[in-house]
Chains A and B, each alone.
Chain A
């Protein structure tokens, strides 16, 4: 591969300007198209969801076949009430949208949504409505519509705007600083569900560590291991998302992260978006 100075000299010698020939243009276009295809659907250039839709998951594995609209799951509401660990470890929801393949039968046996949505469990002294039974009569139908609501006008118990009204704000994602909200005691995510969770040994203290930035113009990441472990436990991240056992052996790239790997499993989907660079790249400039 010739260096830029050599290329410049060559073009000066031949008297040609650095304009792409049709052949080069064609090759460049092919490479660009291939790159765009490789990162299809994961590039940040996609639609940025409004705050109330950020983290929203549409679950449509079986709903339509059963005559229901797909489920609209609001992460903002559930994350304010429960830790990530509770749902993704104790309840067993997969980290990938649609991968759990929840059936009404699972819910009615007290699993997945039915772990809480069983008509008897409470949150803040309020009874949590039961999940939709597989074969719903007209009476159940209204209840089913509370979750099976894609494309429907459904009255909700919790409206986004009023729910976040008193929570500390951030510019991106849901527009809420969930971390600060918890620190101030404005939200108290539940981490234990009777009959579902396990009484665990207390979480071992985790040390924060820094991850060196590859770019000279970007400061290093200070990764808060403790903060992540408190919300996620250990098994959400290890080894499924971060399989490496030795720090520094895997070099993470922002391309991979934007493609939904590593930090990108949560950030840009539910946790604050990747565009909010300075929330991770926090190490002071030397």
Chain B
């Protein structure tokens, strides 16, 4: 019984940390720590820009990480169709600019 529980726990942990399967799993990918299939760009966008409401409260490291993710995602969005690219490039830029603004505010404090 204990062996089964251990096996299930290990399996779930492995699945969660599987590269690309979750934000935690993405950390194990080579490169800058983030990679995602093209169809996942929207999920990544939502994940990045979900924190704008409390951007001023975020720690410096997190802000830097978000800015870096914005820059990565910008390249992916740049390859999408014209309409999607136009809308999401601007939306992403707004998030990035806000995080950069929050970071600058923190660093100048």
Contact = CB atoms under 8 A, between A and B. Distances in A.
Interface of A: 89-92, 94, 103, 105-106, 109, 111-112, 198-204, 233-235, 238-240, 243, 245-246
Contact of B54 (A90, A202, A246): A202
Contacts of A94: 90
Nearest to B105: A245
A243 B46 CA distance: 24
A235 B94 contact: yes
Contacts of A199: 46, 50
Contacts, number: 74
Contacts of A106: 83, 86-87
Q: Nearest 5 A-B pairs (CB), nearest first?
A: A245-B105, A239-B101, A204-B54, A203-B53, A235-B94
Given A235-B94, A240-B94, A246-B108, 17 more contacts: A103-B83, A105-B82, A111-B84, A198-B50, A199-B46, A200-B51, A202-B53, A202-B54, A203-B53, A234-B52, A234-B56, A235-B97, A235-B98, A238-B98, A239-B100, A245-B101, A246-B105
Contacts of B104: 245
A203 B53 CA distance: 4
A28 B56 CA distance: 49
Interface in B49-68: 49-57
> In the complex, which range does the number of interface residues on chain B fall in?
20 to 34
A243 B105 CA distance: 10
B95 interface: yes
A201 B87 contact: no
A238 B93 CA distance: 12
Interface of B: 45-46, 49-57, 81-84, 86-88, 90-91, 94-95, 97-98, 100-101, 104-105, 108
A245 B94 CA distance: 16
A109 B90 CA distance: 17
Given A238-B101, A245-B108, A201 B90 contact: no
B52 A233 contact: yes
13 contacts: A91-B87, A92-B91, A106-B86, A112-B87, A198-B46, A199-B46, A200-B52, A201-B50, A238-B97, A238-B101, A239-B97, A245-B101, A246-B105
